[in-house]
Structure 1
Amino acid sequence: MKHSLVRQNIIETASDLFYRKGYNLTGINEIIKETGIAKATLYNHFSSKEEICLAYLTHRNDTFIKDIKIFVYNAPKGKDQLYALFHFLIVFFNKKDFNGCWCLNTIAEIPSENQKIRKKIQDQKEAFISFIKKLLEDNYNQNEDSKNEELARKIYLIYESSIAESKLHQKIWPIQSGLSLCKNILN
Structure 2
Amino acid sequence: MIQIEDTLVSLEVLDRYFLCDLSKCKGMCCVEGDSGAPLEDSELAKLREVLPLIWNDLSPKAREVINKQGVAYIDEEGDTVTSIVDGEDCVFTCYDADGNCKCAIEKAYREGKTDFPKPISCHLYPIRVTQYRDFKAVNYHRWSVCKVAEILGKKERLPVYEFLKEPLIRKFGEAWYKALEKCGEEWKSQMEE
Q: TM-score higher than 0.5 here?
A: no
Larger Rg: 1
* Highest RCO, 1 vs 2 (Cα 8 Å, sep ≥ 6): 2
